[in-house]
Amino acid sequence: MNTSDDARRRLERLTELLAAWQPLWQPLPFQHPRLPWQAEWPAMVEALLALSDAEVSRLQDAPFTDPPLAAWLPVAELEGLASLPQLPGEGETLAQGWATHVGGRKWRQIEAFLPRVRLAAGDRPLEWCAGKGHLARTLARRHGVEVSALEWDAALCDGGAALAEAQDVPLTLVQQDVMAADVACWLTPTTHVSALHACGDLHRRLLEQAVAAGSALTLAPCCYQRTADAGYRPLSRLGADGMARHHLSLSREDLAMAVQETVTAPRHVQRHRQRANAWRLGFDRLQRAVRGQDDYLPVPSLAYGRMPGSFVDFCHWAAEQKGIALPDDSDWAGLEASGWRRQAEVARLELVRHLFRRPLEVWLALDRLVFLEEAGYDAQIGTFCDRELTPRNLLIRARRPATA
Which sequence spans correspond to the domains of the chain?
29-72+266-353, 96-246+358-399
pLDDT attached to residue 265 = 65
Whether 184 shows a pLDDT value over 60: the answer reads: yes
User: Residue 300's pLDDT is what?
Assistant: 87
Is residue 218 within 8 Å of residue 395, measured between CB atoms?
yes
**What does the DSSP 8-state code read for residue 369?**
H
Q: What is the mean pLDDT of residues 149-165?
A: 96
- Over residues 77-98, mean pLDDT: 92
Rounded to an integer, the average pLDDT of 171-194 is 97
Q: In what order do the strands lie in the sheet with 124-127?
A: 171-175, 147-151, 124-127, 191-199, 216-222, 394-399, 378-383
For 194, the 3-state DSSP assignment is strand
Residue 264 pLDDT:
61
Looking at residues 156-168, what average pLDDT do you find? 95
Buried b (16+ CB within 10 A) or exposed e, 318-346: bbeeeebebeeeeeeeebbebbbebbbbb
Which parts of 168-226 fold into alpha helices (H)?
200-213
- The average pLDDT across 5-15 equals 96
Provide the pairing of β-strand 147-151 with 171-175: parallel
Total Cβ atoms within 10 A of residue 275: 17
Q: What is the mean pLDDT of residues 303-316?
A: 88
- Mean pLDDT, residues 230-256: 97
When the pLDDT of each residue in the chain is averaged and rounded to a whole number, the result is: 94
> Which residues lie below 8 Å from residue 328, measured CB to CB, with a gap of 6+?
none
Rounded mean pLDDT, 281-305? 90
What is the DSSP track for 267-334?
Answer: HHHHHHHHHHHHHHHHHHHHHHHHHT--S--------TT-S-SSHHHHHHHHHHHHT-PPPTT--HHH
Residue 92 pLDDT more than 90?
A: no
Q: What is the pLDDT of residues 124-146, one digit of tens each?
A: 999 999 999 999 999 999 999 99
Helix (H) or strand (E) holding 222: strand 216-222
pLDDT of amino acid 304? 64
Mean pLDDT of 389-400: 96
3 has pLDDT over 80: no
Q: Which fold has domain 96-246+358-399?
A: Rossmann fold (3.40.50)
pLDDT band, very low/low/confident/very high, at 8 (cuts 50, 70, 90): very high
What is the distance between the alpha carbons of residues 58 and 43, in angstroms, rounded to a whole number? 21
Interval 25-50: pLDDT, tens: 999 999 999 999 999 999 999 999 99
- Confidence class of residue 403 from pLDDT cuts 50, 70 and 90? low
Model confidence at 404: pLDDT above 50:
no
User: What is d(CA 151, CA 227) in angstroms, rounded to the nearest whole number?
Assistant: 18
Mean pLDDT of 397-404: 84
Would the pLDDT of 388 be above 70?
A: yes
Looking at residue 313, its pLDDT comes to 95
Which of helix, strand or coil describes residue 50? coil
Of 185, 193, 215, which Cα lies nearest the Cα of 148? Answer: 193
Question: Quick check: 370 pLDDT over 70?
Answer: yes
**Residue 13 clears pLDDT 70, i.e. is over it:** yes
370 touches 8 (CB < 8 A): yes
